[in-house]
Structure 1
Amino acid sequence: MSVDTNPPASGARVPWSEVHPGARAAIEDLLGAPVTEAVTQLGGFSPAAAVRLRAANGSRAFVKAVGPEPNPDSVRIYRAEARIAAALPGSVPAPRLLSTFEVDGWVVLAFEDIEGRHPAMPWRRDELDLVIEAVGRMSTQLTPSPVDAPPIAEVFGPSFRGWHDLRGEDTAGLDPWALRHLDELAGLESGWAEAAAGDTLVHGDVRADNVLLAGDRVHVVDWPWACVGAAWFDLVAMLPSVGMQGGPPPHELFTDPDPRVTKVVAAFTGYLVRHGRLPDPPGLPTVRAFQRAQGVVALEWLKQRTGWA
C-alpha cells in the first residue's frame, strides 16, 4: 500500500453563501447586523461551513454549520459538539459558545472568534512544547470531569477494534509485522477500554488543526468526541499526528512504560490502520489519507512499546 506523506487535515468546506438562508439570517440577528466578511477556515475534515464572520457593526463570530448532505453523520457529530461546548466551564481553554440552533436539518454553532492561528507545520519544538504543556494543564483542570459526558468506551468502542476486524478481512498490503502478530494485537487491543477508564474529561481528538495559538495562549477547539477517561489519553492520541507532521516520534515524547498505555496505543493504531484502508466517507475526501499517515507513525510506536520481533 502506498503511504501518503503529510496529507492535509482539511476537507471539502461549504462556503458561507451556501449555508441554509434561515441559518444565515439567524446568525445576522445574533451579530446585530448584516455579515460583511466571511472567511472560510480550511482545517478539519467535515463537509461543513467553518467561517470567521464580521458584521457591519464590527461584531464577530466563528460559525460552524452542517446540513444533512452529503454526510448525515456530521449532523450527529455537530449536535454532540453543541452539547459539550454549552457545558464546558469558562476555565477550559476553548472558545465560548455564543449560540447553537437547528434549521431544516442544519445544525449551527456560533463561537467567539479567537484571534489565533494553527501551529506551524512541520511542528516547531517551541510550539509543540507549548501545546503539550497546555494539554497536560487542561487534563488536570478537567479532573474530575465537570461535564456529564459519556465514558470513553462508549464513544470509541465501535472503532477501537481494528485488529479484531482485520482478522476477517483482506489483509493484502498490511505491514508484515502487523500481519505476523495479528492475533496478538487483537488480544492486546481488547483490553483498551479498561486501560483508558478514568474520571477526566478528555477532548478525544487533539491535533494541530484542533489547536489555535494566540501568543503564548493555547485554545483547543472542536469537542464533539469529548468523553470521560484517563487523564493521559489526549496526549497519547495526539502523538501519532505530531510525528506524522514533522515533530518528534511518539516514543521520545511519552516514555511511561505503563502497560495500560500500550493497550490504548494498540487500539488506536488498529483503528488508524484499518480505517485508513477503507473507502473515503461521503464528503470527506482526505480523512483516509490522514489516517493512513498517522497509522504509519503509530505502528512504529506500537512495535517499540511491545518489543515483539
Structure 2
Amino acid sequence: MPETNADDNEPNGGIPSMTGSRRIAWAAMPTKVKASIEELLGSTVVNAVSQPGGFSEGVAARLHLATGQNVFLKAVNSLTAPDVARFHRQEGSITQRLPSDVPVPRLLHIYDDGTWVALLFEYINGSLPAQPWRGDELNQVLTTVTAMALALTPSPISASAAAQPRLGGWSHLAAPTQLTTLTRLSPWAAEHLNDLIRMETAAAETISGDTLLHGDLYPFNILLTAASPYVIDWPHAWVGPRHCDVLTVMSTAVTSGLDPEPFVESNPLTRHLHPYEIDTYLTAHAGFLARLAITAGPAADPHLINMATALGQASLRWLRRRRR
C-alpha cells in the first residue's frame, strides 16, 4: 500500500489506473473454449482487443466477428481464479434478470464448462469517465444512477439471490501491525478507530431497503456514450437503500478535489436524508476499502490496491469533514 497521508494532502488528479494488471488475451484461451464461444456467437472471431476498466483477472476484450458485429467478452479459468469465476457466474445471474430499460449492456450468452466461465455482452462503444472528473460528466452519471435506482425499486431480484453488501472492516484493523498501516493511510481514522467501529455497527440499521444496487459503482464500471452512461460489471449487486450507489459516486468526486456536499444537497435521493444515514454509510464504505487496501497481501493486484487506497482515503476525507 502506498505510504500516503489521507489527512494532509488533498487530491485533485482523479483516481489511479482504472484497469487491472492481470488480463490475458483472447489468443491465450484454449482452442476448444474459443471454438465453443464462436459457436454460440454463430460467427468466427477475426480480431480481439483488450478493453480498459475493471480489475478482474482473465479476458476482457472486444471481439470483432466475421459478420461485422462486435461483442464484449469477459472470461476466466476457475481453476486459477476461482473467486473471479464465482463473480462471473453471479454477474450472469444478475444481469440476465435486469429490466430492459436499465442502462446495462445486454447479456447475449453464458458459456460455462465447469472450468472456463465466459459472459458475452452487446458491445457498447463508450469510454471511461475522464479523471479528474469533469463536472458535466459527473452530473450526467449522477442523473443516470439516480434514475437507475428508481427503476430498480422495488428490486427485480430477491435479496437472497443478490450478493451481500461489501461494507465494513474497521473491527479487523485494530491489531497492532494493521493499526500501524492504518495510521499511514489515515491518522484521523486510526485516532478515531473506536468511533468508526461503533458507527459501522450502527450502519446495519440504516442499510435496509428494497432497491437493487450495483454495489461497486466507481468510474471504472461506467461507460459514457453519446446517448447515456452505461453501468457495467454487476457481480456485487445487493438489495438496500436506494441512495447508496449515488453516495458511492459522490465519494469519488473527492479524488478530483471536488466537494460532494452540493451534490448531496441537490440530488433527490440524498437531499432529505438524515446526516447520520450518510455518515454511517460512508463509514462502512470506507471500512471495506481500508480493510481491502491493508489486508489484501502481497499477491494482490497492485493496481487494485492502489485504487482501494485512493477511494478509501477519499471517503475518509469526506467523512472527516462531515464529522467536524
The aligned amino acid for 1:115 is N
Question: How many angstroms apart in 2 are the aligned matches of 1:116 and 1:149?
Answer: 31
Partner of 2:231: 220
Deviates more, 1:269-278 or 1:290-299: 269-278
Does structure 2 retain, via aligned residues, the 8 Å contact 1:132–1:235?
Answer: yes
Partner of 2:71: 61
Question: How many angstroms apart in 1 are the aligned matches of 2:79 and 2:258?
Answer: 38
- Alpha-carbon distance change, 239 to 23 in structure 1, aligned in 2, over 3 angstroms: farther
Partner of 2:203: 192
Output aligned runs, 1:78-157, within 5 Å.
78-150=88-160, 155-156=164-165
Partner of 2:10: none
Give unpaired runs (5+ residues) of structure 1: none
Give unpaired runs (5+ residues) of structure 2: 6-12, 266-270
Output aligned runs, 1:44-59, within 5 Å.
44-59=54-69
Partner of 1:239: 250
Tell me how many residue pairs correspond in the alignment.
303
Residues 1:8 and 2:8 are matched in the alignment: no
After TM superposition, where is structure 1 displaced by more than 4 Å over at least 4 residues in a row? 280-283
The DSSP-based 3-state class of the residue aligned with 1:265 is: helix
- Alpha-carbon distance change, 143 to 278 in structure 1, aligned in 2, over 3 angstroms: same
Does structure 2 retain, via aligned residues, the 8 Å contact 1:207–1:242?
Answer: no
Question: How many angstroms apart in 1 are the aligned matches of 2:247 and 2:161?
Answer: 17
Deviation, structure 1 residue 150: 3.5
Does structure 1 retain, via aligned residues, the 8 Å contact 2:142–2:249?
Answer: no
Deviations 1:173-203 (A, max 9, x none): 4133222211111011102122111000111
TM-score (norm 2): 0.87
Partner of 1:270: 287
Deviation, structure 1 residue 90: 0.5
- Alpha-carbon distance change, 231 to 225 in structure 1, aligned in 2, over 3 angstroms: same
Does structure 2 retain, via aligned residues, the 8 Å contact 1:195–1:260?
Answer: yes
Deviations 1:240-280 (A, max 9, x none): 33322x26233342244531221111111122222212245
Indicate which of 174, 177, 180 corresponds to 1:172. 180
Identity %: 36
Structure with the bigger RCO (C-alpha within 8 Å, sep 6+) is: 2
Indicate which of 307, 317, 323 corresponds to 1:290. 307
Residues 1:302 and 2:319 are matched in the alignment: yes
Does structure 2 retain, via aligned residues, the 8 Å contact 1:84–1:149?
Answer: no
The DSSP-based 3-state class of the residue aligned with 2:279 is: helix
Question: How many angstroms apart in 2 are the aligned matches of 1:235 and 1:176?
Answer: 27
Deviation, structure 1 residue 172: 1.1
Deviation, structure 1 residue 281: 6.8
Does structure 2 retain, via aligned residues, the 8 Å contact 1:278–1:288?
Answer: no
The DSSP-based 3-state class of the residue aligned with 1:253 is: helix
The aligned amino acid for 1:260 is E
Deviates more, 1:60-69 or 1:253-262: 253-262
Question: How many angstroms apart in 1 are the aligned matches of 2:222 and 2:190?
Answer: 35
Deviates more, 1:14-23 or 1:295-304: 14-23
Output aligned runs, 1:22-41, within 5 Å.
22-41=32-51
The DSSP-based 3-state class of the residue aligned with 1:109 is: strand
Deviates more, 1:131-140 or 1:4-13: 4-13
Question: How many angstroms apart in 2 are the aligned matches of 1:203 and 1:279?
Answer: 22
